[in-house]
A and B are shown apart, each in its own frame.
Chain A
Amino acid sequence: MNSPSLRLYTFAAPSRFYQLSGWLVPWFWAATILLTAAGLYIGFFVAPTDATQGDSYRIIFLHVPAAWMSMVLYVVMAFWAGIGWAFNARLSSMVARAIAPTGAMFTFLALWSGAFWGKPTWGAWWVWDARLTSELILLFLYLGYIALVNAIDDVRRADQAGALLALVGSVNVPIIYFSVKWWNTLHQGATVSMTAAPKMASTMLTAMLIMSFAFWAYAFAVVFTRTRAIVIEREAHAGWVAELTRGRMQA
């Protein structure tokens, strides 16, 4: 445990991540801005008005990508939390923690935009439908994870407790995904499926996919920046951080 090579290795990982992510983040921001502009332009100016839902359907370009991100980010968070726990990999646990607030934000956006879409199309802001309820539980899982890891003072113990919660909670993700198949829901079925032809105009699909990539880029940019903050917070006493802040003082 105290051999110099191992210590070097364990310290090297977060510092290398810090350097690499610092180089990548501006590119993710550039991608976010370009993709969002393209997605919204196609979504609002190229895609035609829907025959049955009118222009209210344009919420889809926000709603579906946000809902996808809410589930994907949860799986990624649980994965890295689990890796961090199983292999005692500190950076993995930091990434898991950095994902949680962004995942919660996308979950809230999916619910919020869903309410604003449900009102004009179903006549209700909210119904206790399987899809909506399981997505609400996802929000509570994110918030529970954040509260739990912040409530425990011992950082590594907090990481472990959070990993347990995240992994147990991941059972909810397939429930969200398949809820529209398993139960009779008011919520419509999958918009995009691997096995069936798209059920929407190609310009609508294009806008939705571009917005999904935009949200991916956004998630990378924000999660990497938050991970960088967590790395500095936790490694403040490490030699490379002292080196880094010295460079900062000179600059």
Chain B
Amino acid sequence: MNWGSAAAFFEMGGYGLYVWGSYGVAVLLMAVEPVLVRRRHQRALRDAARMNPGSETQS
């Protein structure tokens, strides 16, 4: 175990700004991108359903 306390962990031996500054942006981007692609997929399915009106009533 490298860290005596939570504070020491966040301090990162004085490099907190740099370590968390890079990981923070990575977390942000890699959380937002999946949401955006999922929305695009849902929108494509909705638009396709609207474009194929017959398919809605066939059932």
Contact = CB atoms under 8 A, between A and B. Distances in A.
Interface of A: 44-45, 47-49, 54-56, 58-59, 62-63, 66, 101-102, 105, 108-109, 112-113, 116-117, 119-120, 218, 221-222, 225-226, 228-230, 232-233, 236-237, 241-246, 248-250
Interface residues on B, range: 35 or more
Given A105-B30, A250-B59, 12 more contacts: A44-B2, A45-B1, A55-B14, A56-B13, A113-B25, A116-B18, A116-B22, A120-B18, A222-B34, A229-B43, A232-B44, A245-B55
A55 B15 contact: yes
A4 B19 CA distance: 58
Interface string B24-41: 011001100110011011
A168 B14 CA distance: 44
Contacts of A222: 33-34, 37
A56 B18 contact: yes
Which 10 pairs show the lowest CB-CB distances between chains A and B?
A55-B13, A232-B44, A113-B22, A245-B49, A242-B52, A56-B15, A246-B55, A229-B41, A116-B22, A236-B48
A229 B18 contact: no
A108 B32 CA distance: 14
Interface of B: 1-3, 9, 12-15, 17-19, 21-23, 25-26, 29-30, 33-34, 37-38, 40-41, 43-45, 47-49, 51-52, 54-56, 58-59
